[in-house]
Amino acid sequence: MKNTFKAWWKTGAMAAIATMALVGCNKDLPKAVPNTPPTPTGSSIADVVNSTATYSFLKAAIARAGSGLAFNPSDRTAVYTFFAPDNNAFIASGIPSETVINAMPAAQVAAILNYHVIPGIVLQSTNMSNIFPNQYLQTSLVLAAPSASLPTGLRMSLFPSIRGGNIYGNNIPIKAVDNLVANGVMHIPAGLIMPPSTTVKGLIASDTSLTLFAAAIARADSGQTGLNKLDSVMNYPAANITVFSPKNSALRAMFPPGTPDATIIALLNNPAYFTAQTVRGLVAYHMLGSRAFTVNLPATASQISTLLTLPTVPAGLPIIAQWNGTTATVKGIANATASTVVAGNVHGINGVLNAIDQVLRPQ
Partner 1 sequence: MRKVLPLVAVLFMANALTIAAIAQTITIKGTIKDSTTKGTISAASVVIKGSTSGTYTDDHGNFSLTTKQTLPLTLEITAVNYDLKSVTITSADQVVSVELVQNTTLGQDVVVSATRTPARILESPVSIERVGNAAIRTAASPSYYDMITNLKGVDVVASSLTFKTPATRGFNSSGNVRVNQIMDGMDNQAPGLNFSVASIIGLTELDVDNFELLQGASSALYGSGGMNGTILINGKNPFKYQGLSFQVKTGMMHVDQSQRSTSPYYNWAVRWGQKVSDRFAFKIGAELVQAKDWLANDMRNYARNGSTGKIITGTRDTDPNYDGVNVYGDETTTNLRSVLDQVAAQAPFWKDYVNTLPSKIPVSRTGYTEKEVTDPNTVNFKVSGALHYKLGKNVEASLSGFWGSGNTVYTGSQRYSLREFKIGQYKFDLTGKNWYLRAYTTQENAGASHNLTVTTQLFNEAWKPSTTWYPQYALAYMNAKLAGRPDLEAHNIARAVADQGRPAAGSDQFNQIFDDVRKKPIPQGGLLLDRSDLYQVEGQYSFTNIKVVDLMVGGNYKQYVLNSNGTLFADKPGEPLHIAEYGAYAQIAKSLFNEKLRLTASGRYDKNENFDGRFTPRLTALWKLTRNGNVRFSYQTAYRFPSNQQQFIDLNVGTGRLLGCDISLWEKYGLIENAPYNPANLSERLYFTPVKPESVTSFELGYKTLIKSKLLVDVYGYVGSYQNFISRRDAVQFSSGTPDPTATQLGYSIVVNAPGTVKTYGWGASADYLLPKNFTIGGNISSDILNDVPEGFRSFFNTPKLRTNVSIGNTGFGPKNLLGFNLVWRWQDAFFWDSDFIAGDLPAYHDIDASISVKSPKIKSIIKLGATNLLNSYYTTALGNPAMGGLYYVSFAYNVL
Query: Under the rule (CB under 8 A), what is the footprint of partner 1?
Result: 5, 9, 13, 16-17, 20-21, 23-37, 70-72, 75, 77-80, 117, 119-121, 123, 127, 135-138, 140, 151-155, 157, 183, 238, 240
Torsion 263-229-231-348 (CA) sign: negative
**Smaller CB distance to partner 1: residue 38 or 146?**
38
The minimum distance between CB 240 and partner 1, in angstroms, equals 7
Minimal distance in Å, beta carbon 21 to partner 1? Answer: 7
CB of 104 to partner 1, least distance (A): 24
By beta-carbon proximity to partner 1, the closer residue of 27 and 99 is 27
Q: How far is the CB of 162 from partner 1 (least distance, A)?
A: 15
Mark residue 164 as left, alpha or beta (left: phi above 0; alpha: psi -120 to 50; beta: remaining). Answer: left
Taking the complex as a whole, how short is the minimal distance between the CB of residue 5 and partner 1, in angstroms? 7
Determine the straight-line distance between the first and last CA of the chain, rounded to whole angstroms.
125
Whose Cβ is closer to partner 1: residue 178's or residue 261's?
Answer: 178
CB within 8 Å of 354: residues ≥ 6 apart: 242, 243, 244, 245, 292, 294, 328, 330, 341, 343, 344, 345, 346
Whole-angstrom Cα distance, residue 120 to residue 204? Answer: 33
CA distance 261 to 360: 19
Q: How far apart are CA 318 and CA 106, in angstroms?
A: 44
Q: Nearer Cβ to partner 1, position 243 or 250? A: 243
- Shortest separation between residue 23's beta carbon and partner 1, angstroms: 6
Residue 253 to residue 22: CA distance in whole angstroms: 102
Which one, 104 or 121, has the nearer CB to partner 1? Answer: 121
Do residues 285 and 306 lie in contact, with contact meaning Cβ atoms separated by under 8 Å?
yes
Residue nearer to partner 1 on the CB measure, 32 or 336? 32
Contact status, residue 181 vs residue 42, Cβ threshold 8 Å: yes
In angstroms, give the least distance from the CB of 119 to partner 1.
4
The smaller minimum CB distance to partner 1, of residues 100 and 154, is found at 154
Q: How far is the CB of 215 from partner 1 (least distance, A)?
A: 30
When the beta carbons of 72 and 97 are compared against partner 1, the nearer one is 72
Q: Which of 101, 59, 104, 102 is nearest to 84 (CA)?
A: 59
Residue 140 or 245 having the CB closest to partner 1 = 140
Q: CB of 130: closest distance to partner 1 in angstroms?
A: 14
Spell out the residues 6+ positions from residue 355 whose beta carbon is closer than 8 angstroms to its own.
Answer: 207, 209, 210, 244, 245, 246, 247, 341, 342, 343, 344, 346
Smallest CA-to-CA distance from 71 within 28, 31, 111, 29 is with 111
